[in-house]
Every structure is written in C-alpha cells, then in structure tokens.
Amino acid sequence: MNSQLQNRTPVGPQTFPGAFWCPDLISTRDLGPQGVEAVLHLAELMKSRPSVFQRALAGKQMVMFFEKPSLRTRLTFEAGMTSLGGSAIFVDQTNGRLDAREKLSDIAHNLERWVDVIVLRTFAQETIDDMAQFASIPVINALSDLEHPCQALADYFTLQERFGDLRRVRLAYVGDGNNVAHSLLLTCACLGSSIRIATPEGYAPKDDIVADAIEIAKQTGARIDLFTDPRTAVAGADAIYTDAWASMGQEHEEAQRSSIFPPYQVNRKLMAKAAPHAVFMHCLPAHRGEEVTDEVMDSDSSLIFEQAENRLHVQKAILYLLLGGAVRLPIRSAHA
C-alpha cells in the first residue's frame, strides 16, 4: 500500500507553531512571532505542493479596494485567491479615496454581507484600521502609509529559502524609513533575526514602530540597530535591501529627497562592503539609477523577482489562515 495514503492530517491554524492566528492582518504586530512563523511555514507548503490546495477556499470571495496603482500586489492576490478555488473582485479607487462617497462604516457593513475577506491598499493606515473595526469579516493590509506586512513576510520567506535559519541572517536596509522598513523591522523582531537600518537624519522609522519591534525582540532574541551611515549598516550583511526614496503620495518631496538620499544608493561599492555571498533585495517598482544601479539590480545576487514570486505564496497562506481553509495533506506513515 502507498504509505503516503495511509495517514492524512488536516491542515489549519492548529497545525502551525503555537496554534495561533488573528482575525485580521492590519499590522505585523497582529501576528506576533507565532503568527509570522505560521505564515512562512504554510507558504512553504503551498509553494512546494500547490495542487493540494486547489480547492481549499472554494466558494470564498475576496474584494480588493486599491487607492494606489499596483502590479505585484493586485496580481498576486488575484492569482492566489483563484488558485485556491475562490474568486476575486477588484475595485479601482485610484480616482478617489475609499470613503469619499459614503461613510466607511456603511461600506464595511455592506461588504460583510457580500464577500468573505477585504483587501485594502490605501494611503492612510486609519482607513484600514477603521474598516477592520466596522467589518465582521477579515481585513488585510495590502499596503498603507504606515506598513506593508505582506511584502515583509514575502521578503523573509525569500531570505529563508536562500539562507535557511533566519536567526543567523543579517539584513541591512538602506534608505527611507518608510512603510516597508516598518514591516521589515517588526517581521525581523518576530523571527528573532537581525536587522540594521540606515536612514538620513529626519527619515528614520517611526519611534513607536521601533519601540514595538524592540519589545518583541526581547522575547525572540532579535537584534535591531539603527544608523545614519549606510556603510556601517551593510558591513558584513547577508542581504542589502532598499526602496524608493519617495513613496506614492510623497511626490511633492521628490526634489528635496533627491538631494539628501544619494549617499544611500545601493551600488557596486556599497555591495562590496557586505558579505561576499550577500544578496540584493527591493520591493519594486525600482527607480533605476536612483536608489539602486542597474548593475546591482540585474546582477546574479539580485533576488528581486524571487521576492515578487513569493508575494503569491505568502498571500495564499494569509488568505487560507484568515478564511479557515481546510485540506487534508498526505503524510508519511510511521511504518514507511
């Protein structure tokens, strides 16, 4: 008899580290160490055995409201939900904020009667916070001005694939202390990893995010260091990460920022200060020739497209866990 068919076990939140999950994904802080580990573990299963999960969310419906343009976030959520057997509805809000026509609470109470999960890509974090408060169904932060949790989870999943034990990985983030930096800080703290962030004076991550990351790090043994010198931050690092100097909504600051951030450009000279095996990371889209050079972007050490691919697997894991998906995975018999 095929030993893999002798025993099957259900996969769900209870099978992951700490048997932990949360009702919404508004911030990485909602997950905590156990939740982050659960996402990465399930993403690994889903990536290696996608066919097992093809009907895991059959009949479930997801709606996405995006106030900002998107390539990776929109397509990976849509493809992910569809590949799990569910359906996706996209609402383009780039011409007006979500609550411009009616109260957000009214929108939330409509949506909770029609669909199973709400995915938001907004300017204000408050929009996501309020939607989660009013809606009785799960809400996912697909990007706000404060955090980008799905991106950071995919980034650490990518690092795990490359290096294995994340507790031994040293990530250096160079540039603006923005939403991506915030989520990387919190995810690193949850995983007991190490992160060094270098930003110009006045552009450091928000104090409350740093304080929360440090508090989590006390539990997990993570190491968090903040610098203004990018060379100090990247010295001996396993990975160097950067993002755009001006995010969407900050276009009016581009001229000022373009005069401040050039010392933080990731180029060949800066990469040379990292470990010989160091990789380059970017959440995309990149402004080539600004925060990073073509030489680094297109090098063999660049993981940018692995990161983009892993958005799909991580978001599938998040949807599955939030919506209570259930499949039965074949496991090896003890007599095999």
Q: Are 143 and 28 in contact (CB under 8 A)?
A: no
CA angle, 289 then 292 then 293, to 5°: 55
Average pLDDT over residues 135-161: 98
Give alpha helix (H) positions in the chain.
28-48, 72-83, 104-114, 125-134, 149-163, 179-191, 207-220, 230-234, 254-260, 268-271, 294-297, 304-322
User: Residue 148 catalytic?
Assistant: yes
Beta bridge partners of 120: 65, 141
Say whether pLDDT at 12 is over 60.
no
CA torsion through residues 259, 260, 261, 264, sign:
positive
User: Residue 22 catalytic?
Assistant: no
DSSP, collapsed to helix, strand or coil, labels residue 250 as: coil
Say whether pLDDT at 332 is over 70.
no
The residue annotated as part of the active site, out of 283, 307, 313, 315, is 283
Beta bridge partners of 197: 173, 226
- Pairing type for strands 87-92 and 117-121 reads unpaired
In CATH terms, is domain 3-147+311-326 a member of 3.40.50.300?
Answer: no
User: Residue 283 catalytic?
Assistant: yes
Q: Are 217 and 189 in contact (CB under 8 A)?
A: yes
327 falls in which pLDDT band (50, 70, 90)? low
Residues in the chain: 336
Q: Are 125 and 144 in contact (CB under 8 A)?
A: yes
User: Residue 311 catalytic?
Assistant: yes
Average pLDDT over residues 292-317: 98
324 falls in which pLDDT band (50, 70, 90)? confident
The residue annotated as part of the active site, out of 29, 72, 148, 313, is 148
Question: Domain extents for the chain?
Answer: 3-147+311-326, 149-309
The residue annotated as part of the active site, out of 29, 74, 121, 257, is 121
18 falls in which pLDDT band (50, 70, 90)? very low
Please check whether the two domains, 3-147+311-326 and 149-309, share a CATH topology: yes
User: Residue 49 catalytic?
Assistant: no
- CA pair distance 237, 271, nearest whole angstrom: 9
Look at the domain 149-309 and name its fold: Rossmann fold (3.40.50)
The residue annotated as part of the active site, out of 22, 74, 99, 151, is 151
Q: What is the DSSP letter of 211?
A: H
User: Residue 190 catalytic?
Assistant: no
The residue annotated as part of the active site, out of 99, 243, 257, 313, is 243
Q: Are 242 and 282 in contact (CB under 8 A)?
A: yes
9 membership: H or E segment, kind and range: strand 7-11
Average pLDDT over residues 12-19: 47
pLDDT the model gives residue 14: 45
The residue annotated as part of the active site, out of 160, 311, 313, 315, is 311
